Structure 1
């Protein structure tokens, strides 16, 4: 196999970001390129064209590589459902929920086989594979049966680039310590080091480069500057805080509820590019304030997170928004939470069949959780019920176990291309509930919703901010910027020489 693997000295070192850039760089040189991450742990997911579920990072990396995402790019996706257990999505389909111990004891051999199969499929269809690791390759308690770092590099037989985050401090210790803890054969695979998230004058790190190369005998392939707003979707809770903490003040204050088992928070990322909008992630009642709008995103454990809202008093804060004329949007699990009743008929949400709980009662609806998960791409139009006009289709996807039944006719939000009524639209847009992920990535709709808020606040309306047009260009810009800070020819030489060696 021709390829290279990016591993990190820690979580959030920038592996996904760098793999995304490398995918576009290779694709721009005319190579059929595919990303690969054997095992992803994230509730931020992506639906492939054939209705399969993979990690969102690999879906975005496939877009950067100018190819269609497939399950072979992320054969195992672990979606945390509690502090102890995660749903196992195997080749795009949810299979079973296991504890960490159960997964390690029962899934290792099956994982090895599907990784081999996936690599074989990708090697057949692509010129080069850009692989991504997870966390650190030297978690000693996990190394013996790991399925995502050096074991995968061995199965693919590719060289490894080690990435370290200088912004968090301790970069020299993290690099040297990681290399020291690798087995000798593993260390031989590390053919380059990248320093990520450097702030300030890059020349100030020249002595650091010299020391690292002399100490490790491994070339530093580049020192990458800290980059904001690169439009590469985040993957975990660390990414949430990093991305949204960069926002300043805005005329429109949006409180996004940070649920314990939040999923697909990338639904809110388009607001990063609206300069009169400020998004605040809210976990506690004393952080709530007086927002103009509240968004409740998706969750992997709806009933558990609903109970948490009630325990913290955030439920009452959300209800008070309605009394004060604010706007409220619930997406997927957030939509379910806003309903009147939730029934876990199959035990698929709580593990206890026929569990019944009261929702927040904002939307006249009942949700029934079933055994089989829906994962589909969707095209839709705004329903005539809304009284709003939107040119063209809205594009998105659905990932959910529950089905929600409205008790009030004439209040649907969307009409899909297949003629299915979806979601809830009430109080002239003050309340919206939908299973439609990616909703706010549709520029015209996002502008309409924000203009409803602007009109209520008495501030100037705005024209459509077409950030969707910038996404593909952003991949090219990202690739060009990284290329200017990388020893790009050396990266390619490492790949070529590794294949020659073997």
Structure 2
């Protein structure tokens, strides 16, 4: 298979974004192209059309390539449950929960098998592969059993481009140091370097390009200027800290997002970045709470742990006071579970302790039972009751272990949605409190506008028209591709991909 692998001098240097750009660039040239990342570590996931779970970055890259995302594009997804253990998702399904040491010692051969089979499947359907590495290829304590960087380049027999982030400083040391630490057989795969996130006058860096090429003997394929305002979701918590950096400007609507230690699918919040009168504050301490117009409790990979965190930080009591005073709250997935009265880890799938219980925030009379079966499904439907006609169809996806039920049998619960023909979630006190398992709720443009206009109206502000971010996302793909294509030597890159050895190991069935 023809293709290229982007590796980085560190995490968060822009590999995912540049892979996204290259997927669109190659697609525009008329080729069938697929993204690939052997192993992702992220709680920010993406549900495929067949209800499987992969890393969000590869789902977005598939969209850029204008192809359907499959589990073969990210066959191994690690979802951290705590500082030591992670759920291993293999081919889109939960496989096992392992510690870092057990994963390294016992999963390696299964990982190689998984990667080879995925590469074989992609090879049958695509002409080019854009492969993303993870972290750095010179983690010397891990390289003897790594399955994310040079080992993958070897298995797919692909050339490598090294990405360096100049915005964080130390770009010369990071490039030279990485190349010097690579063994000769790995360094020989590196066909170029891309300097990413440059700010200012690029002509001032011309001598820097010359120095890098003379020092390393590796071609600098280009210097990519920093680009902002893209309506494209990020990958993980590192992306979160940069995506939502505040300008400090006070805006008409203040949203407080509870910053959970094991937050998952934070991209649920990203659409608010593009609403001009909305500011987003991440709140991890009671002193940061302030007087928001609404509070959003996002999803989490560890509901019990993060609920305990809210209680220890005083945020649980603060959120309760806020709702008692009429404040708006939306709980998404794990945040929805926290809104209830009681949580029971029936199968030990959240805490590892079978039958463990915890008192929730007691905002709505709900009880959640954590089962062994994990729900991953794409869902669509409508609002339940008022607003359904105005909002229209609502789409998203569910990823959760818990089943949540209403505790007060004699008191009728008002569902929030009708999804896949079934009532789902809760809308309490005419929508003051909303809970749902549906991720990407606010990516539904009409719903987001409807909800924000309720806040605007309550504050005496003028209602605003719907901002259609889905259409803007496609424009962002094109803008990103144009931006990168102008900055790097794409012709050289494609020539190298064409001329590179096409051999690949025989896949394990």
Which of 471, 476, 479 is matched with 2:478 structurally? 476
What does residue 256 of structure 1 align with? 257
2:418 maps to 1:441: no
Q: Is the 8 A contact 1:397 1:437 kept in 2?
A: yes
SS of the residue corresponding to residue 87 of structure 1 reads: strand
Change (3 A) 1:32 1:471: same
Q: Which residues of 2 match residues 204-223 of structure 1 at below 5 A? A: 204-223=204-223
What is the distance in 1 between the residues matched to 2:478 and 2:451? Answer: 30
Q: Which residues of 2 match residues 94-133 of structure 1 at below 5 A? A: 94-133=94-133
Task: Report which stretch shifted further, 153-162 or 467-476.
Answer: 467-476
SS of the residue corresponding to residue 79 of structure 1 reads: strand
What is the distance in 2 between the residues matched to 1:343 and 1:334? Answer: 15
Task: Report which stretch shifted further, 270-279 or 321-330.
Answer: 321-330
What is the distance in 1 between the residues matched to 2:132 and 2:381? Answer: 34
Q: Which residues of 2 match residues 109-258 of structure 1 at below 5 A? A: 109-247=109-247, 248-258=249-259
Change (3 A) 1:358 1:25: same
Q: Is the 8 A contact 1:381 1:390 kept in 2?
A: no
SS of the residue corresponding to residue 500 of structure 2 reads: helix
Q: Which residues of 2 match residues 62-73 of structure 1 at below 5 A? A: 62-73=62-73
Q: Is the 8 A contact 1:72 1:122 kept in 2?
A: yes
Q: Which residues of 2 match residues 351-430 of structure 1 at below 5 A? A: 351-384=352-385, 386=386, 389-407=389-407, 408-416=411-419, 418-430=420-432
Q: Is the 8 A contact 1:382 1:390 kept in 2?
A: no
Q: Is the 8 A contact 2:4 2:131 kept in 1?
A: yes
Instruction: Give the unaligned 5+ runs of structure 2.
Output: 505-509
Task: Report which stretch shifted further, 476-485 or 148-157.
Answer: 476-485
What is the distance in 1 between the residues matched to 2:91 and 2:388? Answer: 39
CA RMSD in angstroms comes to 1.3
Q: Is the 8 A contact 2:37 2:74 kept in 1?
A: yes
Instruction: Give the unaligned 5+ runs of structure 1.
Output: none
What is the distance in 2 between the residues matched to 1:501 and 1:44? Answer: 33
Q: Is the 8 A contact 1:42 1:235 kept in 2?
A: yes
SS of the residue corresponding to residue 20 of structure 1 reads: helix
SS of the residue corresponding to residue 430 of structure 2 reads: helix
What is the distance in 2 between the residues matched to 1:400 and 1:322? Answer: 25
2:473 maps to 1:451: no
What is the distance in 2 between the residues matched to 1:10 and 1:305? Answer: 28
Deviation at 1:500, TM superposition (A): 7.7
Deviation at 1:321, TM superposition (A): 1.6
What does residue 315 of structure 1 align with? 316
SS of the residue corresponding to residue 499 of structure 1 reads: coil
Deviation at 1:409, TM superposition (A): 2.3
| 1:100-129 residue CA offsets vs partner (Å, 9 max, x unmatched) | 000001100000001000001001110000
What is the distance in 2 between the residues matched to 1:432 and 1:376? Answer: 21
What does residue 80 of structure 2 align with? 80
Change (3 A) 1:388 1:322: farther
SS of the residue corresponding to residue 405 of structure 2 reads: strand
| 1:375-426 residue CA offsets vs partner (Å, 9 max, x unmatched) | 0000110011x4553343111000000010123424100002x321001111
What is the distance in 2 between the residues matched to 1:400 and 1:274? Answer: 29
What is the distance in 2 between the residues matched to 1:425 and 1:501? Answer: 56
SS of the residue corresponding to residue 195 of structure 2 reads: strand
SS of the residue corresponding to residue 96 of structure 1 reads: strand
Q: Is the 8 A contact 2:5 2:133 kept in 1?
A: yes
Task: Report which stretch shifted further, 316-325 or 465-474.
Answer: 316-325
Deviation at 1:501, TM superposition (A): 10
Q: Is the 8 A contact 1:329 1:335 kept in 2?
A: yes
Q: Is the 8 A contact 1:343 1:355 kept in 2?
A: yes
| 1:140-181 residue CA offsets vs partner (Å, 9 max, x unmatched) | 111110010000000000000000011110000000000011
TM-score normalised by structure 2 residue count: 0.96
Q: Which residues of 2 match residues 26-65 of structure 1 at below 5 A? A: 26-65=26-65
Q: Is the 8 A contact 1:429 1:452 kept in 2?
A: no
Q: Is the 8 A contact 2:13 2:164 kept in 1?
A: yes
Deviation at 1:458, TM superposition (A): 1.5
What is the distance in 1 between the residues matched to 2:503 and 2:371? Answer: 53
SS of the residue corresponding to residue 353 of structure 2 reads: coil
What is the distance in 2 between the residues matched to 1:336 and 1:229? Answer: 33
Q: Is the 8 A contact 1:285 1:317 kept in 2?
A: yes
Q: Is the 8 A contact 2:255 2:292 kept in 1?
A: yes
What is the distance in 2 between the residues matched to 1:141 and 1:282? Answer: 36
Deviation at 1:208, TM superposition (A): 0.6
2:499 maps to 1:497: yes
SS of the residue corresponding to residue 218 of structure 2 reads: coil
2:260 maps to 1:286: no
Q: Is the 8 A contact 2:157 2:503 kept in 1?
A: no
